[in-house]
Structure 1
Amino acid sequence: MLKNYLKTAFRSLWRNKRYAFLNITGLSLGITVCLVIYVIIQYEQGFDMFHTKKDRIYRVLTVSPGENGKTNYSQAIPFPVPTTLPNDFPEFEQVAGIIQTGKRLVTLEDGHGNIQKKFKPLVYFLPPSFFNIFDYKWLAGNKATALNDPNSTVLARSTAEKYFGDWHKAIGQVIKLDQHFDLTVTGILDDPPKNTEFQFEMVATYALLKINEIKDWVTIDDVHNCYVLVRPGQDIAKINRRLIAFSQKYKDPKNKATHMLQPLAGVHSDKRTANFIGRVVPPERISMLWMIAGFILLIACVNFINLATAQAVNRAREIGVRKVLGSNRWQLKIQFLSETAMLVLTSLLLAVLLALCGLPFISRVMDLPLGPGMLATYDVYAILLLIFLTVTLLAGFYPSIVVSAFNPINALKSKIAASKRNGGISLRRSLVVIQFVIAQALIIGTLIILQQMNYFNKQSMGFTRDAIVNVPFRNDSAGNAKIPYLRDQLQHIKGIQEVSFSAEAPSNDGNWWTGFKFDHQTEDVNFAAVTRWVDYNFLNTYDIRLVAGRNLTRTDSVREFLVNETLVQKLGLKPADVLNKDMDVWDGRIKGPIVGVVKDFAAGTLKEAVAPVFMSNIKRRFGSVGVRLAAGADAKASLKAIEKLWSDNFPEQIFEYQFLDERIAAYYKEERQLAHLYEIFAGIAIFLSCLGLYGLASFMAVQRVKEVGVRKVLGATPAHIVYLFSKEFILLIGIAFIIATPLVWYFMHNWLNNFVNRVDINWGVFVAGGMAAVVIALITVSSQAIRAAMMNPVNSLKAD
């Protein structure tokens, strides 16, 4: 019996190849999207979940009051916290301070001090306790002792193989970090998995930086974090209350910043804070991806139902014959469910192939390590089985009921009851509306995301970012001594307009926040500010405007400060009021008068509010030179000249550079990737919706053959016939637009609220999205409408 059902189903599908092709195409695309989204979600939610003690690992956050009652959360902590916590919290089994300052210069020398190799690995400064908290595979060395000596280091396997050929040969070798520290390789770690926040290529000791000597409880730096391993059975809420008392115990009473614990899972998902890899995927984004997967699969299923019911009506005579020959309703239902199962199974197999082919593309778009192996899991198999059963039952159930209910006499005469026909069409119209609600929502949402990305790219940040190149240089006494010579040589290079030495560019995605005393006060002010160490030409190079006072002097022997407008406002003063008032940073180690107030500029990203900033001319902290190229300059020639200058003066360094506008664009990489992903999904959604329209238009064209013939005999033109078919679909799309508009506005308004600087939602994007859906739908429907309009009316009137 089953064999007969399958054989009959196969023959039926083969006779209706176009119908089968449309159904398989739509359904396979919908399932492919589900598989790809599932793989993305599994990757994002799996960050650092491989650690055996993950449920007891927490990150220490700094919590401080913000403006308008808002609370600010930061992963940065004061430097004394990791060394002080163990004494005050016996609940912590392990405590690990972590510093990651990016890629650092490492050189290999021969026995005579000559550099053999030089490279820049990503360096983490970690204590031995780190490896008692987190699980990383050791290939060589003892995790308990490998980092006991401050002058020891541990390399990742790929780093050791890259520079020693064989990682076994790296053990015992001496390498030099930052041309200053001689470190002995005492261990080799297997390369960390891609789904961990700690993508170390080299590990140096936390003790090497002598953090325990810093007693400043105010200054925090985004690169300095702290993790703890909590003993089993502890009350986290109670520990958080004690952390408040801990903060009050060691900090100045005016410093309202406290601390709290954040679960390890929150490091990758809590949008209130950042992390070392610069990617946070909040639960809202995961929910949105699930919704998109569900909606696109729903569109595919709606297509399936539309096409199946339309095809069922066209098979009226076949149903009539089957009923006359003795088939009952149950057998007809099984027959149509068998056909549905064959279509779904074929779609599943095709979807897996499409997902395997599509994952590398999505991997490039999202910059995620998504591989085919991520589909070969029991979870994916279970999802495929669930989709097969659900879609087969849901998508096949309604058509089977419609078909099995046909009256055999009317079916043999191809006269299905008008009420049933109209009822079926009404259901299909409703399903088309649902499809286009989803499709238009995705289109309009994507347009709003693109508008926000365009805003980030074009909005002024308070300084010039075009034609500026940042080049790192040696940050030590030898490098600082060469600054006057380098400045002179750079200014003589053709195409260079301005030169400025500083610690970093005006905008940075990781900032150093510190407290300060103002106007001889004995206590720090009640807020921290972003520090910028700059020279006298910083304002000219980056085109930052003064609003009061003057610029810094050319000499660095006189200590002076510049502040921005926000810092002045937070002091409750006007720009003129702060001029010539003293600033004191780090208890008198750096102090001098405020000589100027600059216009606000974005020290971070445009996602955030403008931060209070102070700048001072501390030459020993300079580590970058900003070069502004003249309009029309040959950038390649200028960079080549800079590289030669650097090679002559810093032969041990690796010459690197980065255009400032490219660096700033990288701040919004996640949002740009999200926009690309939504573009893809919106395109798939509109394509699937058009498949449904095509099927419905085909059905209507068959059902209204005689009507079209009569209209043509009575004088209707082809244009009138096309209009007759199209107006109904435009009405459906209009209804979908009315439903989609408030939904899109609500969700996108909430998304835009994540940014301090944001675009306003305007009606133009809704009109553009709606018009795009109408045009695409008309193109889809017109093929069938024109086909019906061009038929010979004589043949149409002869049709059964």
Structure 2
Amino acid sequence: MKTSNNFFPIAGWEAGMAANYIKIAFRNLWKNKLFSFINIMGLGLAIPFALLALMHLQSTFEFDNFHPHPERIYRVLTNEITREGTVTKYASSPYLLADELKNNYPSIEKATKVVRDFGWELTTPFKSLKVNTLYVEPSFFELFGFSLTKGSISIAPNTLMLSTEAAKRFFNDANPIGQTLVHPTYGPMTVTGVLKPFKKQTQFRSDVMVSIATLEKFRPEIKQNAEWGTYETHTFVRVQPNAPSNALDLALQGVAKKTNINLTATKKTNLFRKQALADISPSVEDLRYNPYVDSMEDIYFNFFIPLMILLLAGFNYTNLTLARSLSRSKEVGVRKVMGAIRVQLVIQFICEALIIAFFAFGIGLVLLYFMKQNLQVQWLTWEVENKTLIGGMFVIFTLVLGILAGALPAVILSKFQPAMVLKGMLGPISFGKVNFRKSLIVIQFVATLGFLFMIGHMYNQFSYMATENDNFNRKGIFNLSLAGQDYRVLIDDIKKHKDVEKIGLVSMPFGGVPSQQAIKVHEKDENSSTYYYSVDKNFIENMNLTLVAGKNLPFSSTDSTGHFILLNETAVQRLRLGTPRETIGQQVFLNNGFPAQIVGIVKDFCHFHYQYKKEPLVFQYNPSQFAMLSVKVNPQVHQDAFLADMKTIWKKHHPYKELGYSWYEKELYDRYYPAEDMKIMGLASVIIFVIALMGLLGMVTYSTEKRYKEIGIRKVMGASVWEVVRILSWSFLKLLFIAAVVALPIGLVENMFMNKMFTFYAGLNIGLMVLFFGVVLTVAIGAIAYYATKAALVNPVKSLKSE
């Protein structure tokens, strides 16, 4: 009972102490408004990136949580084991596994297979778009929570379903059911359905779901027993409600034992194992072929930049707090004389840091909302389902941030001895012979310059991809989609226009993924793969392609396929035809058909992807595949007026079809320049730069406080304002030059990394690096000069009156 009676006075005393800590903290923050503002803004600018990382982390645990009976759904993983004992782990499995489980094991209620295909591009008469593609079968919709908003499930070959967003992109408000999209290799694909909108957090992220029959039509070998050694399929099963917990394990062991006989020639065996649906994301083990599932390494990397920015902001808080140590030391001394113990002082300083952290958190939330409204970046996670959980994570994050930011200054400042403080024997805190805070300034500016240089390299490359005209000509080209094979009269009418210089024909313009064909030198050789374009002579000239040997395709106006072709230099090397000059006149076989004669060799160029390695390329006159007119126009043409004339001519020939067109230069700019991604990268670089400047401000403040009386003495001794500014500034300028010496090699290494990443690289842009460095240096020198001048203008009487 005595303990119970004493509880309430103790609780009341503790509440009163907490209120006092908060009251004193607010008074100190208000008293030092400039420092408080810089600390709050520094952390506030950094926090949105950390909040985005936290939301992304939570979203990885919310993957695929919208399917019925998730507790009974499993994915089958494959361990490929060689005779030497090497184990390779796959998130995928053989194509035939789903059917084997479904047909022969009663414990399996449902089983389905999913195959992902990359690099798809589908075309309408009006536009060509890259799409994310899955092959699925009807059982996919029985197992998972996907459904259609209109139409029916695709079953027949060359049929597909579109996501709601993809249907809008291709057909706007028109009904897509029954419409046709053209694949460069598979040909026309009929739209049978439109999917209901589904969560972004799913491993089945896709724009297009294609019937599995389409895959089996064009790759019939996929159903052969030899395919038990190929792992490009994802197999999912749902076990019966009353199935034993080990039923699926036993089934997978049985399948492996039964089918490993098919792998004898490959000298390997398969071991299949289950993975619960809830355990797929995030991935805790290294699995091959696991798209759209973040591994823990990915998550760590996603936290790297936010943590780096927060660390720089935390450095600033420490710098500014310790820079004010001279004024805070007397406060500490007086409070210790009045009976305060060290723990109370530590709590006081941490309380101040927590208040700053929560103010910064409020600013961070506002900035996060602003970023969400103005940055349309698809890979960023802006929403999570469990709002309570993410709210709690935000609060805990802010508490931890405040405690960590305030811990070091609290420990250092609370150590002051009151006798030394009150005798005036302490100056601003230093860290021995090596000035720790100067090192932090160098680190901050190295990080800033390194990040800016990387942004510069990326901007340089993306701008090159979006605007260059070296690989092929994109200027003054008007692309017009054909509505069928009856285009000769249309071309004749377009030729009459005063601004038209030349009209070429092509199966698809450069920039998209072209079709592929088989090629070989001798009829009995094995086929090799080559990219293929159907073109005429004028198209080659419109694109300004360079012939290193031979001549262009001959002019032809017939409707039959030509027997003459052009190759690129890589094709000559890959087929081992000799030198380009020796290749002229030789024959090759395309798609196992009649031989075609090589009449010219085109210099290697980038025709669709700047990052991929060079591949063989074939140009052939093939009218049956012509789908686009490449119209070369007068460079001074008025585009709106020309477009109006083209629409008039088009309506004359196709009164019931809309004109599909693009100005090639603009189309490729939109395709290659990631404007939204560059916005967020630019925003991050600006924030890092601002935080570094705040750190510099802390150092300037520290230095002027430390040398306050020295400045007064120098002025009394006759030093001019300029001399004082020069003396104060030089130590900071040295820091900037040290940062530059360290950062410039880092920028060159980043350039080497980009050079290895891209086959067709823009090269080092020294001017852009110099520009970024100049901007950083100019702004930093301006800040130094401002505060140094402000200190130099102080009346020496004021600074020396205490002496």
Shift in Å at residue 15 of structure 1?
A: 1.7
Shift in Å at residue 248 of structure 1?
A: 9.3
Shift in Å at residue 463 of structure 1?
A: 1.8
**2:323 is matched by which residue type in structure 1?**
A
The one of 406, 420, 436 aligned to 2:416:
406
Alignment of 1:250-261 (within 5 A): none
Q: Does 1:438 align with 2:447?
A: yes
Contact 1:105 1:120 (8 Å CA) reproduced = no
Residue ranges of structure 1 left out of the alignment (5+ in a row)? 60-80, 107-117, 218-224, 250-260
Contact 2:112 2:143 (8 Å CA) reproduced = no
How far apart in 2 are the matches of 1:342 and 1:698?
Answer: 22
Shift in Å at residue 134 of structure 1?
A: 7.2
Contact 1:57 1:133 (8 Å CA) reproduced = no
Shift in Å at residue 299 of structure 1?
A: 0.9
| Per-residue CA distance 1:517-559 (angstroms, 9 max, x = gap) | 32x432234x311011112322122122333144233134352
**2:401 is matched by which residue type in structure 1?**
V
**Per the alignment, do residues 205 and 165 of structure 1 end up closer, same or farther by CA in structure 2, a change over 3 Å counting?**
same
How far apart in 2 are the matches of 1:345 and 1:785?
Answer: 32
Shift in Å at residue 325 of structure 1?
A: 1.7
**Per the alignment, do residues 89 and 226 of structure 1 end up closer, same or farther by CA in structure 2, a change over 3 Å counting?**
farther
Shift in Å at residue 205 of structure 1?
A: 4.8
How far apart in 2 are the matches of 1:542 and 1:119?
Answer: 19
**1:56 is matched by which residue type in structure 2?**
R
**Per the alignment, do residues 531 and 438 of structure 1 end up closer, same or farther by CA in structure 2, a change over 3 Å counting?**
same
Alignment of 1:689-704 (within 5 A): 689-704=692-707
**2:778 is matched by which residue type in structure 1?**
V
**1:627 is matched by which residue type in structure 2?**
V
Which residue pairs with 2:14 in the alignment? Answer: none
Which residue pairs with 1:718 in the alignment? Answer: 721
Which residue pairs with 2:583 in the alignment? Answer: 578
How far apart in 1 are the matches of 2:659 and 2:599?
Answer: 35
How far apart in 2 are the matches of 1:556 and 1:50?
Answer: 53
Shift in Å at residue 13 of structure 1?
A: 1.6
How far apart in 2 are the matches of 1:352 and 1:653?
Answer: 49
Alignment of 1:350-429 (within 5 A): 350-361=363-374, 363-364=375-376, 366-367=377-378, 371=382, 373-374=383-384, 377=387, 380-413=390-423, 415-418=424-427, 420-421=429-430, 423=432, 426-429=435-438
Contact 1:432 1:689 (8 Å CA) reproduced = yes
Shift in Å at residue 687 of structure 1?
A: 0.7
**Per the alignment, do residues 583 and 20 of structure 1 end up closer, same or farther by CA in structure 2, a change over 3 Å counting?**
same
Contact 1:562 1:614 (8 Å CA) reproduced = yes
Contact 2:346 2:414 (8 Å CA) reproduced = yes
Which residue pairs with 1:300 in the alignment? Answer: 313
Q: 403-412 vs 634-643, which deviates more?
A: 403-412
Which residue pairs with 1:750 in the alignment? Answer: 753
How far apart in 2 are the matches of 1:28 and 1:206?
Answer: 50
Which residue pairs with 1:69 in the alignment? Answer: none
Q: Does 1:601 align with 2:599?
A: no
Q: 737-746 vs 440-449, which deviates more?
A: 737-746
Which residue pairs with 1:11 in the alignment? Answer: 27
The 3-state SS of whatever aligns with 2:757 is coil
**2:394 is matched by which residue type in structure 1?**
L
Contact 1:463 1:542 (8 Å CA) reproduced = yes
The one of 682, 686, 690 aligned to 1:687:
690
Q: Does 1:552 align with 2:554?
A: yes
**Per the alignment, do residues 626 and 741 of structure 1 end up closer, same or farther by CA in structure 2, a change over 3 Å counting?**
same
Which residue pairs with 1:531 in the alignment? Answer: 532
Shift in Å at residue 40 of structure 1?
A: 5.9
How far apart in 2 are the matches of 1:668 and 1:121?
Answer: 12
**1:524 is matched by which residue type in structure 2?**
E
The one of 700, 703, 710 aligned to 1:707:
710
The 3-state SS of whatever aligns with 1:610 is coil
Contact 1:564 1:599 (8 Å CA) reproduced = yes
Alignment of 1:761-772 (within 5 A): 761=764, 768-772=771-775
Which residue pairs with 1:483 in the alignment? Answer: 487
Q: 299-308 vs 772-781, which deviates more?
A: 772-781
Shift in Å at residue 708 of structure 1?
A: 0.7
Q: 282-291 vs 9-18, which deviates more?
A: 282-291
The one of 284, 291, 316 aligned to 2:304:
291
The one of 320, 326, 344 aligned to 1:313:
326
**Per the alignment, do residues 246 and 748 of structure 1 end up closer, same or farther by CA in structure 2, a change over 3 Å counting?**
farther
The 3-state SS of whatever aligns with 2:537 is coil
How far apart in 2 are the matches of 1:748 and 1:182?
Answer: 42
How far apart in 1 are the matches of 2:264 and 2:668?
Answer: 38
Which residue pairs with 2:629 in the alignment? Answer: 625
**1:430 is matched by which residue type in structure 2?**
S
User: Which TM-score applies when normalising by structure 1?
Assistant: 0.77
**Per the alignment, do residues 46 and 562 of structure 1 end up closer, same or farther by CA in structure 2, a change over 3 Å counting?**
farther
The 3-state SS of whatever aligns with 1:498 is strand
The 3-state SS of whatever aligns with 1:781 is helix
How far apart in 2 are the matches of 1:20 and 1:764?
Answer: 38
Which residue pairs with 1:192 in the alignment? Answer: 198
Aligned residue pair count? 723
The 3-state SS of whatever aligns with 2:618 is strand
The 3-state SS of whatever aligns with 1:753 is helix
Contact 1:57 1:227 (8 Å CA) reproduced = no
Shift in Å at residue 181 of structure 1?
A: 9.6
**2:455 is matched by which residue type in structure 1?**
T
Which residue pairs with 1:517 in the alignment? Answer: 520
The 3-state SS of whatever aligns with 2:799 is helix
Contact 1:359 1:370 (8 Å CA) reproduced = no
Shift in Å at residue 632 of structure 1?
A: 0.7
Which residue pairs with 1:252 in the alignment? Answer: none
**Per the alignment, do residues 729 and 358 of structure 1 end up closer, same or farther by CA in structure 2, a change over 3 Å counting?**
same
Contact 1:467 1:629 (8 Å CA) reproduced = yes
Q: 594-603 vs 20-29, which deviates more?
A: 594-603
How far apart in 1 are the matches of 2:301 and 2:139?
Answer: 35
**Per the alignment, do residues 760 and 247 of structure 1 end up closer, same or farther by CA in structure 2, a change over 3 Å counting?**
farther
Q: Does 1:492 align with 2:496?
A: yes
Which residue pairs with 2:796 in the alignment? Answer: 793
Contact 1:559 1:593 (8 Å CA) reproduced = no
Contact 2:534 2:623 (8 Å CA) reproduced = yes
The 3-state SS of whatever aligns with 2:598 is strand
Contact 2:532 2:619 (8 Å CA) reproduced = yes
The one of 104, 110, 122 aligned to 1:102:
122
How far apart in 2 are the matches of 1:452 and 1:161?
Answer: 31
Q: Does 1:56 align with 2:66?
A: no
The 3-state SS of whatever aligns with 1:56 is strand
Q: Give the fraction of aligned pairs with identical amino acids, expressed as a percent.
A: 24
The 3-state SS of whatever aligns with 1:557 is coil
Q: 660-669 vs 121-130, which deviates more?
A: 121-130
How far apart in 2 are the matches of 1:344 and 1:271?
Answer: 39
Which residue pairs with 2:82 in the alignment? Answer: none
**Per the alignment, do residues 608 and 152 of structure 1 end up closer, same or farther by CA in structure 2, a change over 3 Å counting?**
closer
Which residue pairs with 1:63 in the alignment? Answer: none
